[in-house]
Structure 1
């Protein structure tokens, strides 16, 4: 996962294949040859040497300290097959039975750098996939091959119910249904059946072409990444070619649309948006949206990219600034793949100054008194390293900007502070530490542990706190890494409350190390809070939870296979600033009472429940009328929920779904045109509610102090 850049994994027909390599454990057909070929594939002596070196580094330097043994061989085998053919579409049960012979032998083969079995299994998969794609293309070219969408058929979409097909006949029937589902989705999106077949012909033709163009370096990288990803999802092998492309991509990492993408099955999925990037400013692209087509300019053809490699999709999306790219996406809340939306984005570059922290003031009343709540939104933990290294006195950084904003808010006479870290994907550890320094007195901020090495506590707050007033930290699922370090420290010191939804859970550190050919990105250390809790996997759990439309099942560290687990080490002595005993339960009660009558918060909770019901499907109908009825029921439900909200706010309900859609488009255009330099406090229900929670917090703390004085 990275910002519109190459991924070290290889995408094949219908799947991200970092684990493709697990195939290395199949047949017993081993020879003494150091270079073997099949289907024009051959691994080299250099690749064998690289394998031996990578195995050594993984088993001696990776944080997980996972031995390469028979148990790992079994995991490797299973993950390979799942990664190579996740929907069980190409390989047959007979292939799996044949492959299983080497389940527990892969560890020995990898230590010796013997890649023969892996290349043979990859070859078998390639043969099956090529044959199947040719079958699909021949069907799509047949004018008589049409589907009857009046029949009551369904296709299972529950990954837990998938199984390898027993023979070719069963596989043909599965693919008939999948093609029917593809055609129906395109038909519901506005194409004729003939046009849908033409689109699918191009899609599968491109997949076949890519399959036939892969070479030994592609296969080797995929095979090795199948092993590295058993250690954790952030450990990857970069071949010389991938590393070269990666360097180019990183030099342009903030050029394009400013989105973090990853491959998921045959789609390119949005993980998060870069704050102040072109996509974020445009406002329509959302996390968990799936990109299905890319068009250049306002009139360029929308090129279907389903089944493409991630780097190829990135190449289409990236381009010169001030040019237009159009993305056809399946929204995260879509009922099925037939729901598409085209988004127009002006390419650009994320500028450091556009990611700068900004402030606002919310005025709230408890019915008798007016309070000023300061808000500082921190979109990233940034620092101008070049200016810093040059010794520039006025270099730009998160901490320096927040320092100035705090001084300005103090002049405005704020009563409390909200530090908004929503959608902050992290950045500089140094900045996370120095920002914490503005709110606590000298003390440790984070612990860092490397495998089999002493724990480092050098990241510390070193100066007296600048701001000592009441504060809360607002987070969500997209708050990650450095954001989690800051929020965790504020929570552990009981310096302020953490409000929102559970954060991302990225609590590991990677480094690049050269190997015989290419480089290995390896996880070598892990972050821990001063309480001893890891930020890994679990992230930061808020003291008071707010609803979120970002599904933790779709986004977050816990969604990755083999993510390092949460754990705990010794607590480091640290001060506790406030006693929250009994306070959080009362604050939660007051929040829930308020939320039960707030139309905006009720609507948000209703949306979350509605999305969950839409996604809770194990099969999809292949009957056109049934699908249309299902879509209408969802649209009617959405209209019902939005009208419930509007009625609660004293607004006129929408007459129909078209009026709702028209209003939504106008609202999105208005949001896109708004200045990015300001915080829209009036239309942010979660920010408003956080303000009221802070207000309750201040009042309860003042009551407690008054009681303590009276008792004294």
Structure 2
């Protein structure tokens, strides 16, 4: 979770694009290349290999990041040969997590840098980092060129009667020893991709066209890399040696982070995405400038951007999406002109139009707190259950610092929603924190304060300092005194864990769902001259004294784990381990504990034969089986048999659920997929986990009205 930014002059200069301190970002970046389609380009040769060099500001920023981390990070660790070696390994993992680009001979040559990066980081010397990146880029270009060549030679050359395998999990594999081995590895990868398309029913011509486009696009994207890309990956490899949540943000990434925290930006209010060589309008944000103007439409393709009424139009065909976005964003009240190919027009017709839009403040309402009301029966009466969905813990720091009375925050929005739900006479409230990755610590604490009269909400411990207790400071105000529940899952993290942990420790509500992510650290934003450093400076603890770090918050009532849950969570972060502190002084309501046994029994009886829950359990089991596969056969007959088995299982499972819902079963997977696409925007579809949480809360409401309330007790704290 993040605290308000600290304004600090730390360095003169930074970079423009960074990555997270995790191999997933690099893998996602490289994987995303496959989804950006470009016009055909010649096969990459020597001229296609880009040689990047650092800018002076990169070295200055590197030194500033090193100084901050060594002076103020929660963990004190020397920048020595051990740190250098760790940075080296993490950098390679960010660049080539599947070990399919570098050759073993590259690694042997680059080993000369393993124990010199510490001195290079201290001095701002970035040549070693860029040497490593340039070698990676060379190999990336070679592998993409090789893949494109295999497609252009004709996919009929592949022998699908040959019994061979392709390795899909190479995180622990060795790098190819030489180019011949690399070629064979990529031949199998391309062959596997071709076979996947064949199994989807595509003919050779369509497959060749699709894959040719894909690899040409990837080559085009590779030619658009910048020095900022290399620098961002490298400095975040070093930051990750401290912990996985410490991260450098370039100025561009800083802007995106601030937008997500404030839920507002200044621009035109359009979501953009790649389409062939163009930047396409995916959708318009309701009530944004583009939406109100009525000229720009979804699926319009942007070909040029001009500033002001008379500024020259800049061609953006083939430009990186983030560069196009930067041209279109701008200050409130300014004008931007877009030259677009309308959605209904073929791009070969030459027909375009000019759309002029005055930028304004755009509120990202989709990420703000929302509400709804469910009605469930507990066997005695219908209970009206209000649901408040909180996607993130946001606050507009800038607007608050400017003294604007209408600044946005999670607590302010939820308080308003609670008032609306009270006006609708709800019997209880569920706070839905599923997939809420956190946000402002202050907001987590103040949100908890809406449900408790007064008292501590979280404990924070800085390095080598005493633990500080943070309390609800709203003079005893309680927005909702009635029954409540909190719904969480494996992606509920950080600030979500503060809130869920506080409600659980106070016995204020029932926590349902899955064990949470397990992030128990606090990050502070350090403003650099260009960009920001998000740095772990503290750990937080529940008021019971327990740390969520690596362990998360265990729900009172556990739901089936979703597919892939075993790959989620903060378990792998061993740099900052689990511990505990003395519990804070607080008073538990004593409402939930005596009734938990009964609530669990009723829940288990209800879901034992529930089709929705059975469906979730079956999918989770199947997911664990599939993700356990490390190799895939390239023998067509074997793959066809496997696909038939997988498809039959999927169709039977989905049809069982459809029949249980009173719907007609699907006759094929194609029909099933068509139904699923059309149902993506159908808000009436059941949400079994939310519905069951409402039933659990309704049970609690019924039980508390049947028996006398237990005397309020002083909290029994965990020591």
Contact kept, 8 Å, 1:15 with 1:85, in 2: the verdict is: no
- Asked if residue 72 in structure 1 is aligned to residue 75 in structure 2, the reply is no
3-state SS of 2:565 partner: coil
Match of 1:605 among 607, 610, 617: 617
Q: Which residue of structure 1 lines up, in the alignment, with residue 7 of structure 2?
A: none
Q: Distance in 1 between matches of 2:603 and 2:518?
A: 26
Q: Which residue of structure 1 lines up, in the alignment, with residue 40 of structure 2?
A: none
Match of 2:457 among 445, 451, 455: 445
Change (3 A) 1:143 1:507: same
Q: Which residue of structure 1 lines up, in the alignment, with residue 515 of structure 2?
A: 502
* Structure 2: unaligned runs, 5 residues or longer: 3-15, 31-48, 275-282, 288-296, 304-318, 330-335, 345-360, 713-719
Q: Distance in 1 between matches of 2:530 and 2:590?
A: 54
Contact kept, 8 Å, 1:444 with 1:574, in 2: the verdict is: yes
- Asked if residue 419 in structure 1 is aligned to residue 431 in structure 2, the reply is yes
Q: Which residue of structure 2 lines up, in the alignment, with residue 30 of structure 1?
A: none
Change (3 A) 1:116 1:535: same
Q: Which residue of structure 1 lines up, in the alignment, with residue 299 of structure 2?
A: 297
Q: Which residue of structure 1 lines up, in the alignment, with residue 371 of structure 2?
A: 358
1:686-710 deviation line (CA, Å, top 9, x unaligned): 222212222333455566648999x
Q: Which residue of structure 1 lines up, in the alignment, with residue 189 of structure 2?
A: 178
Higher alpha-carbon deviation: 566-575 or 411-420: 411-420
Q: Which residue of structure 2 lines up, in the alignment, with residue 150 of structure 1?
A: 161
Residue 47 of structure 1 deviates from its aligned partner by 4.1
Match of 1:636 among 648, 667, 670: 648
Change (3 A) 1:537 1:350: farther
Match of 2:686 among 674, 680, 683: 683
Contact kept, 8 Å, 2:98 with 2:171, in 1: the verdict is: no
Residue 501 of structure 1 deviates from its aligned partner by 1.8
- Asked if residue 693 in structure 1 is aligned to residue 696 in structure 2, the reply is yes
Residue 666 of structure 1 deviates from its aligned partner by 4.4
1:305-340 deviation line (CA, Å, top 9, x unaligned): xxx9884798899999x99999xxxxxxxxxxxxxx
Match of 1:236 among 247, 250, 256: 247
Match of 2:124 among 113, 117, 121: 113
Residue 596 of structure 1 deviates from its aligned partner by 0.9
Q: Which residue of structure 1 lines up, in the alignment, with residue 537 of structure 2?
A: 524
Alignment coverage as a number of residue pairs: 621
3-state SS of 2:131 partner: helix
- Asked if residue 584 in structure 1 is aligned to residue 596 in structure 2, the reply is yes
1:175-228 deviation line (CA, Å, top 9, x unaligned): 111111122233444543344344434433444444455454443333222211
3-state SS of 1:600 partner: helix
- Asked if residue 51 in structure 1 is aligned to residue 54 in structure 2, the reply is no
Residue 550 of structure 1 deviates from its aligned partner by 5.5
Change (3 A) 1:667 1:357: closer
* Structure 1: unaligned runs, 5 residues or longer: 21-37, 262-273, 279-294, 302-307, 327-347, 675-679
Change (3 A) 1:404 1:146: same
Q: Distance in 1 between matches of 2:249 and 2:636?
A: 45
Change (3 A) 1:312 1:9: farther
Contact kept, 8 Å, 2:563 with 2:621, in 1: the verdict is: no
Residue 668 of structure 1 deviates from its aligned partner by 3.3
Q: Please give the residue correspondences for 1:35-50 in structure 2 after superposition, counting only pairs within 5 Å.
A: 41-43=52-54, 47-50=58-61
- Asked if residue 220 in structure 1 is aligned to residue 231 in structure 2, the reply is yes
Q: Which residue of structure 1 lines up, in the alignment, with residue 74 of structure 2?
A: 63
1:216-244 deviation line (CA, Å, top 9, x unaligned): 44433332222112223333334567768
3-state SS of 1:457 partner: strand
Q: Which residue of structure 2 lines up, in the alignment, with residue 593 of structure 1?
A: 605
Q: Which residue of structure 1 lines up, in the alignment, with residue 499 of structure 2?
A: 486
Change (3 A) 1:171 1:374: closer
3-state SS of 1:16 partner: helix
Query: Please, what TM-score do these two structures have when normalized by structure 2?
Result: 0.73
Residue 615 of structure 1 deviates from its aligned partner by 2.5
Residue 442 of structure 1 deviates from its aligned partner by 1.3
Q: Which residue of structure 1 lines up, in the alignment, with residue 290 of structure 2?
A: none
Higher alpha-carbon deviation: 187-196 or 432-441: 187-196
3-state SS of 1:510 partner: strand
Change (3 A) 1:386 1:45: closer
Q: Distance in 2 between matches of 1:576 and 1:471?
A: 15
Contact kept, 8 Å, 2:454 with 2:471, in 1: the verdict is: no
Residue 546 of structure 1 deviates from its aligned partner by 1.4
3-state SS of 1:67 partner: coil
Residue 532 of structure 1 deviates from its aligned partner by 2.5
Query: Please, what TM-score do these two structures have when normalized by structure 1?
Result: 0.73
- Asked if residue 549 in structure 1 is aligned to residue 562 in structure 2, the reply is yes
Match of 1:8 among 10, 18, 27: 18
Residue 364 of structure 1 deviates from its aligned partner by 0.9
Contact kept, 8 Å, 2:612 with 2:688, in 1: the verdict is: yes
Q: Which residue of structure 2 lines up, in the alignment, with residue 35 of structure 1?
A: none
Residue 644 of structure 1 deviates from its aligned partner by 2.7
Q: Distance in 2 between matches of 1:654 and 1:190?
A: 19
Q: Distance in 1 between matches of 2:341 and 2:266?
A: 15
Q: Distance in 2 between matches of 1:298 and 1:494?
A: 53
Contact kept, 8 Å, 1:436 with 1:461, in 2: the verdict is: no
Contact kept, 8 Å, 2:563 with 2:624, in 1: the verdict is: no
